[in-house]
Amino acid sequence: MNNETTNLYDLIDCQNQKAVLDEIETIISLLDSDHIMDQFQVVCQDIIRLFNGDYPGYKASNTKYHNLEHTVMVTLATARLIHGSVVCGFRFQPENILLGLLAALFHDSGLIQTKKDKSGTGAKYTIGHEKRGIRFMRKNLGEKNFTRQQMDDCAQLIKCTNLKIDAADISFRSKEIENLGKIVGSADLLAQMADRLYLEKLILLFKEFEEAGIPDFDSEEELLEKTEGFYKNVTRKRLTQGFDNISSNMINHFRYRWDIDRDLYSESIGKNISYLKKILNDGKRTRRFYQKYLRRGGLLYEND
């Protein structure tokens, strides 16, 4: 592998769930936290069952953007950023590392419908899905004898993925938990915007927003047109200010794990934004002007 030209998705196939989970477990070992592995694996299998429709009382996930792949990739980004932070001097107890990883696993579980829910899809819960996810987390971890304090900490970490909540307004039990919250919140943003298929998946995100009644976007085209502004005014500001630029520690992970002296997440996000600008600047746009550009993965044609 040429470390000077390696891209983020050259390292691991994000659509190979086993490969991603194996890498997360490798990072747990790098963090000298092997004794949390069993608990992580048990909860992870529950989340997989939940999204696949095999968890008692719940339907399979039916949101195309916020799906199991997204959840697993956010968990991987969380593990990577925890590791990168530890490499540069942060200290986390293994039990708290576990809570950070579990928060990533649970953070979108609130978008899953119960079997009694017969209307629409889980996208209708987009606004407020974090609270539903926290309720599911408490039920699941309570059955596994996690303490109330652990569940309270995990709830605060999940809140960091809610773009409507400023991390400064969340009451954390300790600075260590606060830093983990900033890591989980950062990982959620990084995993989405660095996704190789991010631009294609924005069309799927619009469909979720449409069902949820989110008023900011009247069309798929408008969502694409506003994405660069979202990156500059929301994502970048939240990463650098709201989360104290803890995401800058990601480069330490790639140095230590892969001998790559670059932040591959930032690079991938930059490529996505640059390509989006090219699309938007390429002459007069008509309805679905983006179809000739956004062909990766066949997502737009599978979901038309």
Domain that holds residue 253: 13-302
DSSP code of 289? G
Look at residue 70 and tell me if it is in a domain: yes
pLDDT digits (tens, 9 = 90+) for 130-185: 999 999 999 999 999 999 999 999 999 999 999 999 999 999 999 999 999 999 99
Q: How many domains would you assign to the chain?
A: 1
Residue 8 lies in a domain: no
CATH number at residue 118: 1.10.1300
Per-residue pLDDT tens over the stretch 191-204: 999 999 999 999 89
7 within a domain of the structure (yes/no)? no
Q: Is 243 part of a structural domain of the chain? A: yes
Q: What is the pLDDT of residue 302?
A: 47
Q: Distance between the two ends of the chain, CA-based, in angstroms? A: 37
Question: Is residue 197 situated within a structural domain?
Answer: yes
- Tens of pLDDT, residues 40-65: 999 999 999 999 999 999 999 999 99
pTM here is 0.95
Q: Is residue 38 part of a domain?
A: yes
CA distance 166 to 151: 20
Q: Are 43 and 31 in contact (CB under 8 A)?
A: no
DSSP string covering 227-275: HHHHIIIIIHHIIIIITTTGGGGHHHHHHHHH---S-HHHHHHHHHHHH
Do residues 207 and 127 make contact, with C-beta atoms less than 8 angstroms apart? no
> pLDDT exceeding 70 applies to what percent of the chain?
92
Tell whether 171 is covered by a domain: yes
**Is there a contact between 181 and 160 (Cβ–Cβ < 8 Å)?**
yes
In a domain, 6, yes or no: no
Q: What percent of the chain has pLDDT over 90?
A: 85
Which three-class secondary structure state does DSSP give residue 148? helix
Least confident of 17-31, 114-128, 280-294: 280-294
Q: What is the pLDDT of residue 263?
A: 98
Cβ burial of 22 (10 Å; 0-12, 13-18, 19+) is exposed
Residue 303 has pLDDT above 50, yes or no: no
